[in-house]
């Protein structure tokens, strides 16, 4: 009896913590993806900044300055495109996370509904099984009390 109760308690506890474990894993995976992408983006932008500083330090005359400013305009155009691409990629990562989170929540809700249904079924079966026992024990008391009165 105690083993059965302990097993049931362990199973309920596992069922209670499973959605939280999945949620934490999902959050960790998303954080890892976002951090990795942001680190890569920061590396790209840092390299671009260093390259531009080197190019600026190599300017020695008016012609070099003109070439540098032309390159700066091209670089700013490329930089704005790269930033848009990075924003789209971050949005995709966020949408993927949202979708995975919605799937996980739907699964947890379904599992909770299934568990509640199973518990209700068990409770009604237990109630039905105990009703005849109560009726027969109650009937025995009445007949025994009748026989003692006679």
74-86, pLDDT tens digit by residue?
Answer: 999 999 999 999 9
Give pLDDT tens digits for 88-145: 999 999 999 999 999 998 988 888 888 888 878 877 777 777 766 555 555 555 444 4
> Would you give the DSSP letter of residue 88?
H
Distance CA 87, CA 96 (A): 14
Length of the chain as a residue count: 150
Give the dihedral of Cα atoms 90, 28, 39, 37; nearest 10 deg.
-30
């Amino acid at each position: 009896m105690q083993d059965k109760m302990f097993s049931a308690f362990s199973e309920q506890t596992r069922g209670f913590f499973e959605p939280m474990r999945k949620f934490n894993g999902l959050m960790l995976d998303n954080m890892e993806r976002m951090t990795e992408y942001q680190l890569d983006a920061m590396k790209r932008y840092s390299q671009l900044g260093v390259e531009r500083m080197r190019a600026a330090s190599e300017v020695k005359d008016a012609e070099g300055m003109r070439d540098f400013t032309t390159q700066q305009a091209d670089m700013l155009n490329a930089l704005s495109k790269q930033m848009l691409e990075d924003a789209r990629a971050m949005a995709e990562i966020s949408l993927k996370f949202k979708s995975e989170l919605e799937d996980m929540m739907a699964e947890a809700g379904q599992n909770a509904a299934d568990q509640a249904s199973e518990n209700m079924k068990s409770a009604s079966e237990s109630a039905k099984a105990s009703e005849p026992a109560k009726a027969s024990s109650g009937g025995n008391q009445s007949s025994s009390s009748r026989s003692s009165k006679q």
